[in-house]
Amino acid sequence: MSEYSWPGENGWSPAADPTAAWPKTVRVLPVGTRITGRVIGRQPFGVFLSVDGHPDAVGLARIDRMPVCLDLPTVGQRVSGEVVWHADHNHQVGVLLGEWARHEELTT
């Protein structure tokens, strides 16, 4: 099994169409909102997250926010963090993971 996978490959699917749910997602998860969730996909550029209490939302913690001293979380791992951006073009909520925020040595 590869260390990388997409959310759908791990049995996750949104409760509704993320595109149709996007306006509500942005409204209920504004920048600065603390979230918890589970890693549902892992790619070289970051990890995808399901967001607790928001079954239509897809979070993305990008590797450019990850400290060089840490590794990407694994699929299934519980995580927490803060919403830091919204990507309208692909309906993703950007998340800075709490563990990552406690470090200063970010990648560039």
Q: Are strands 34-43 and 78-87 parallel, antiparallel or unpaired?
A: antiparallel
| C-beta neighbour count of 13 within 10 angstroms | 12
Assess contact for 37 and 71: CB atoms under 8 A. Answer: no
pLDDT in tens, 95-108: 999 888 877 555 44
Q: What sections of the chain are H helices per DSSP?
A: 18-28, 98-101
H/E stretch holding 100 reads helix 98-101
pLDDT at 108: 45
pTM greater than 0.85: yes
What is the distance between the alpha carbons of residues 50 and 36, in angstroms, rounded to a whole number? Answer: 8
What letter represents residue 5's amino acid? S
Share of the chain above pLDDT 70, in %: 94
